[in-house]
Amino acid sequence: MSSRLERVLRSGRFAVTAELNPPDSADPEAVYERALVLASVCDAINATDASGANVHMSSVGVCALLTRAGYEPVLQVSCRDRNRIAIQGDLLGAAAMGVRNVLCLTGDGVQAGDQPEAKPVFDLDSIELLQTARILRDQGQFLSGRRLESPPSLFLGAAANPFVPPYVYRAAHLAKKVEAGAEFIQTQFCFDAARLRQFMEQVRDLGLHERAFILVGVGPLRSAKAAEWMRTHVPGVVIPDEIVRRMGGVPVAGQREEGKRLCVEIIQQVREIPGVRGVHVMAFRQEELVAEIIEEAGLLPRRRADRPTLPDESQEVVD
């Protein structure tokens, strides 16, 4: 059975996904509260997997809660912390819980996080992870060759970053991920629409826009100070000087609103680029802004649904 996200994309609609930042908590309500804000304006919700190599509630755990509540999750899987045995088991477990969307990532190095003494794994990289998931799904077997009784139904995704040099290789690297099995792509934050247009021209030249659905990463900046911190400390995030200057040219009290306005402008520019099939909104600890951004960018109405009634703890959960 295909995922809701896959059906939206294949129908030709402009898709919206958003990132749910897992809590530093064992309380499921912390997940449900954030998901409730996102679900009415998004087609799927990404559960990040220790992004930036910082530990939070696991992506599998968040996805279990989201599927239990009737939401559409995207399981992010990083190769940094697990070997191929654990990864294959997690993919089967997630599929058994009703997770259909998987974003395959290599993952940031442990030195980027708050526990740099951790031992990295990197048994696979993102391309090998895509190949592994496709073997599970399409060939119905583990990497060892042992047959599966029931293969998982998965819609496979990968990440792309058009905004870091060498630019000439970015589309070619994306082509490798598509060849490995990526069916949808979510990019790093876009703060440079001109660079994105150049990348998408290369993508179209290679015909990749016809083989994978490309969703462009966007997000609001809290302030000029936050913008400077992000481009200095967050791996892969590129924020041009003119963006930092624009944020800094607004009084501090108005910078959050200016960051939201900038995000809306970028979404509107992104929508006009041929081959872009959606946006992926990342608003760290600012989930409440996502609905405002989506509405102000003209991406509503979407499917709106109240939070489903949670199953009783003592009852069997049926997907």
Question: Using one digit for the tens of pLDDT, what is the confidence trace for 265-301?
Answer: 999 999 999 999 999 999 977 888 899 999 999 998 7
49 in any annotated domain:
yes
233-275 pLDDT tens trace: 888 899 999 999 999 999 999 999 999 999 999 999 999 999 9
The pLDDT of residue 307 is 41
CATH classification at residue 193: 3.20.20.220
Q: 1-15, 68-82, 289-303: lowest mean pLDDT where? A: 289-303
Asked if pLDDT for residue 311 goes beyond 90, the answer is: no
The pLDDT of residue 284 is 78
263 in any annotated domain:
no
The pLDDT of residue 303 is 56
Domain count within the chain? 1
198 in any annotated domain:
yes
213 in any annotated domain:
yes
Q: What is the pTM of this model?
A: 0.91
The CA-CA-CA angle for residues 276, 278, 282, to 5°, reads 120
Which residue in the block uniquely carries the two structure tokens 């190769």? Answer: 79
**126-134 and 84-96 helices, crossing angle to 10°:** 50
SS3 labels along 259-312: HHHHHHHHHHHHHCCCCEEEEEECCCCCHHHHHHHHHHCCCCCCCCCCCCCCCC
Residue span of the structural domain in which 148 resides: 4-221+269-296
Mean pLDDT estimate for the chain: 92
Q: Hey, what are 89's tokens? A: 């088991």
280 in any annotated domain:
yes
Q: Let me know: does 101 contact 153? Beta carbons within 8 Å.
A: no
235 in any annotated domain:
no
227 in any annotated domain:
no
112 in any annotated domain:
yes
The pLDDT of residue 314 is 35
